[in-house]
Structure 1
Amino acid sequence: MLENADTADGSAADFWSLAKTLWTLLSGQNYPLPGEYHPDPAYSLRSWTVYPWVDALDLLIRRCTRLAPDKRPSMAHFAEELRNCMAEPPEIASDADAEVLRKRLASLTDPTRQTLRAAQEERQRLEELATDLAAFDLEVQTLIDGMLGGNLQQWENAHPSHVNSFQERSAWSLMRHMLYQSPGDPSRVWVWWLMNARIPNGGADRTGREEMTLDIDLRVIHRHDGLEHASYVLHESFSAPLGSATFARILESAKALVAGSEKDLLTEVTRIAALPDDHVPEWFPSTASE
């Protein structure tokens, strides 16, 4: 500017001077900083004022004091930045008609939302029920294994032949089973444990609470030449409203019933295991036909 005063564009110098003046006014200092402005912590406007747009003004002053004049903003941009910093934030008007429409939308979607909430609560309730029953089943399996002294091998993936008698139509069901089999090929004696919990269709009591039916089945299977015979069967069914104290009690009662069968179970398992290899049981068809 000093070297080419006759031909230089003075507007760039105006930006420089205006930015320096702005910094002096906002910082409360008597003189502006020399040279190009760098908003370091010691000289930033934030050190002198709590004005909410102080960071934007620091940036504006820095751009206006760049050493290269062509890198400085225009006066229009400078004015626009100041107006935006000084302007009040726009008010968000409350539209009464919009509120009416929101209430209308809420009333239209409320039945569906209630249905979805009820379905979610039902899924959660059944998941909790399944967790409780799985814990009960594991306790009983451990109990049976202890009753057998760990002498029979467990097979979780085996499918009991009598399982179809428990598969009734129901709104919800959970079946779990475990096979304990004696060593040897073929295995002579099996012990089956089966638990089937179900909520029948329309299974509500007089108070409207859903009832759950729990079937437990513990049996000793004598196997001979490819055929099976249930020589001991412990079967019991329990029913109770879900979430009731009675429901919690039937799990305890079922477990106690299994524990009480220990002597009869062991007697039958031991009897079959002690039979000689050439023994033909009385229930076998060839024996029955003679």
Structure 2
Amino acid sequence: MAKAAKRRIGDEIGGWRLQEKIGGGGNGIVWRVSKAGEPERALKELRNLSAIARDRLAAEIEALGLAAGIEGIIPLLEHDLPFDPAKAPRWFVMPIARDISTLLGKRDALAVVKHFVPLAKTLAELHALGIHHRDIKPANLLVLNGRLCFSDFGLVKYPSRKDITPDRSDVGPRYTMAPEMRREAAKADGSAADVYSFAKTLWIALVGELRGFDGQYSPVGVLSLGDRHPRIFSTPLDELLSECTDNDPTKRPSMVVVQRRLADWIVTEEDFHKRNLSEWFAIQKQLFPHGAPSQATWTGIDEICSVLRLASSTEGLNHMFFAEGGGNTLRAVTLAAEPGFIRLDAGLLSVAKPRKLTYEAFGMGARMNYFRLELEDVDPTGTPGAYISRNGHYEAVCEIRPGEYVTPEAWENDEYKGSPLPAGAALVSRLLKGSLVIFSTRSPYNLTTGTYDGRHDKVSEADFRAYIARNVARMEADRKAAADAGAGADMDEE
């Protein structure tokens, strides 16, 4: 394999003086170069003089020329263009850009996606010209003028280029390559392959694992974005990554769609009201993937725990209303030490014996969908010094060990019978009767202060649903009349 003459620092190429090596691979070297009266630049020199390597450099120069004017590409500033048509160019000059890591930093998910939206637009514009990068990976994304840009178009394909890839050969980066590019790259759809590689590169940028993953993305298991970024609403990103990495290229969305969906996710993520309702709807979709019924009921304690865990899975998602009034965010649900009881963490810990959990849905009024937890009536523990609420809905005790209750004064004094309370001791509200309801934080029910009066427990399950249904109908009528999504509509005070 022929190679170009070995260069040294201080040599000149096309009038550019070599300052230092700043990158390169098997086919070429990237130098930092200087020229009198010019800012420092990056010069890519072809070292491998094989026919394939020279053709790829020529194709890269031509593709960059075709894409001139599209933002988000490291531009071509100058190149070697031999007078002899039989000779391919051997170098070209670009601005100096920085590594992707200098922009993404600690990988805040919202910031990462914001940087990838304009990059998606760039790729969509390339695809509109019939230009396919085919080598998208983190190493080929550089930072120029504060934004991510595509670089290294050595594997590019465009309408006038004759593909030199041998049949049944693969093309692309190992960890982000679409499966069809492994099988028969010459015949593969470059647009769909770019979508696949773009999605995997986005995942790598979000989680920081440079080796990526094999196959299609799944939000269940070790690949989960939600596990790496627990504070974001990951469902829309999960769905998009899964679709983009489908093994069937025809099922992947276009880059225009990818750009729009990423931009929509940013809007949702930054608008708490929209995000909260989207998260609430996402729970419904997980519970009922084939369409939500108007009502669903669970009676098994394990089922009830699983559903309530889902409802409390995202910070700030829900608000739980107690039978005697007031409420708080439900943060966690576990089985309690008392047989048949569950433990609800809503700031203050509660234990309760559930009779059933019901999900109530209202179609167009989905923002008013809610859960109602009906409790079994249970007797107080008889703990000396325990406090029983005015209406007898709960008993306040100190739990010093799972299922072992003592006077709440022990919690106030941080000791019991002369000894410090053990680790894990807690003040517990043991619910004796009644019901609780759980709405999304941004639902009209939660945003109306009068609803904190425990009204849901003062009527039957059926009557409360009818009350919510009437408000849903009224708010929908107001929305249609005002054409403003029902802004400002409150709950009735009945």
Superposed pair shares fold, TM > 0.5: no
User: Could you say which structure has the larger radius of gyration?
Assistant: 1
Normalized against structure 2, the TM-score is what? 0.18
Higher helix share: 1
Normalized against structure 1, the TM-score is what? 0.29
